[in-house]
Amino acid sequence: MKDQEFYSVVEVAGLLGLSRIAVFKKIKKGEIKAIRIGRSYAVPASSLAHILGRTLGETEKKDIEAAVKRAVAEYGEVLEKLGRE
């Protein structure tokens, strides 16, 4: 991945191994964050890194932390017993 701020739909398609149409559909569904520039889209590098699984955003980190706390609160005793086995 090159060090650039934005990627075109064609570049994203090549990096993800998808067709341009598939990338456009993912943008319309909100699966890929992009900004519209005239009749084209530009995908921020930070969004692409997230898609490729290289980084987690702050929101995702907080969601994971909350889910872990909830699981420990609800199933803490069971998790302790499983940890002893």
Considering only residues 40 and 1, tell me which one the structure prediction assigns the higher pLDDT: 40
CA–CA distances in Å: residue 15 to residues 3, 10, 25, 28: 14, 9, 16, 19
Same domain for 85 and 60: yes
C-alpha span between 70 and 50 (Å, rounded): 25
> What pLDDT does residue 2 have?
58
Give pLDDT tens digits for 60-70. 788 889 999 99
Same domain for 10 and 50: yes
Q: Which domain holds residue 78?
A: 56-85
pTM of structure:
0.59
> What pLDDT does residue 35 have?
95
Same domain for 42 and 83: no
Total number of domains constituting the chain: 2
